[in-house]
Chains A and B, each alone.
Chain A
């Protein structure tokens, strides 16, 4: 099942530093953070283009203050 857990997506959207680590090293980051993802999910994250994700966040959300997300 490729769908990434919502909490992980949310962290990636809200926290640029976490997103950068996650997309640079998905397996190492999810292991270090204690998330349980299967191989298909890890591979899906590895195939994502960090720049495209940043642009998508800017287009969908704009400037984001993570502490005020609701």
Chain B
């Protein structure tokens, strides 16, 4: 039996991003904040709702840490005409697509993709007013380093916002732990973090944690539905995304949550 290795997140996204784009569109997130009446999972409105929860303001210098193909960065820059977003991905493929999309929508002056690791950010200290992590910290190798870097690149008074799929508990049953490992392996994660360890790491990095908890009104129907085709000819069957990512019986102990924090002044 040969040795097997888990692909890095960059390898994972180099391989799968095109499939994800076809299945999910430009916002590569599982949890979509429901907005409107009746409530709907609209990815653009979800990103704007998250930006509002994060506290993004006109004139902000924003870092999107783990930006995918810059879908959220483009949405935020489109809505906030004086915001500049630096968008970081460690996938060369995502970086190329992000560059292309930014060019296509004419936002090259205000959305700047970077091929970089968010644990080693290529920015001077104090460069940003807002750092965003949208479903990206499961790829962090070291939370201390990750949030230490976020703290470094934020200006005093700057805001950190983390929205993620968290492991629901640090002490899992054997069965739940197996499910969690299978989930992480499926999605190329280093390890899904718990909300509690995330809050602790953010605090240890020097942030003042403003709030943390479950993310309200988040739905996964759009994500789930992207795994299937449903039509009269074939009934319900896996989509091309579902062929690769539907795993029967996978039911991991996860929850959507968020953390707001602030870098103290002085």
Contacts and interface: CB of A to CB of B under 8 A. Distances in A.
Interface of A is mostly: helix
Contacts of B230: 4, 9, 12, 44, 48, 53
A28 interface: no
B226 A6 contact: yes
A61 B256 CA distance: 21
B223 A2 contact: no
B251 A14 contact: no
Interface string A56-68: 1101111111001
Interface in B141-194: 165, 183
Contacts of B236: 9, 13, 48, 52-53, 56-57, 60
Nearest to B36: A34
Contacts of B251: 62-65, 68
Contacts of B253: 68
Nearest to B41: A7
Interface residues of A, number: 34
B231 A61 contact: no
Given A60-B236, A60-B238, A61-B246, A10 B231 contact: no
Contact of A4 (B223, B231, B237): B231
A33 B226 CA distance: 20
B225 A7 contact: yes
Interface in B228-266: 228-232, 235-238, 242, 246, 248-249, 251-254, 256
Contacts of A69: 220, 223-224
A5 B224 CA distance: 11
A2 B234 CA distance: 12
B8 interface: no
A68 B252 contact: yes
Contact of A70 (B30, B225, B238): B30
A65 to B, nearest CB: 6
B40 A7 contact: yes
Interface string A9-38: 111111000000000000000000110000
A10 B219 CA distance: 10
A23 to B, nearest CB: 10
B31 interface: yes
Interface of A: 2-14, 33-34, 43-44, 47-49, 52-53, 56-57, 59-65, 68-70
Interface of B: 30-31, 38, 40-41, 165, 183, 219-226, 228-232, 235-238, 242, 246, 248-249, 251-254, 256
10 contacts: A5-B225, A6-B228, A9-B221, A48-B236, A49-B235, A60-B228, A62-B251, A64-B251, A69-B224, A70-B183
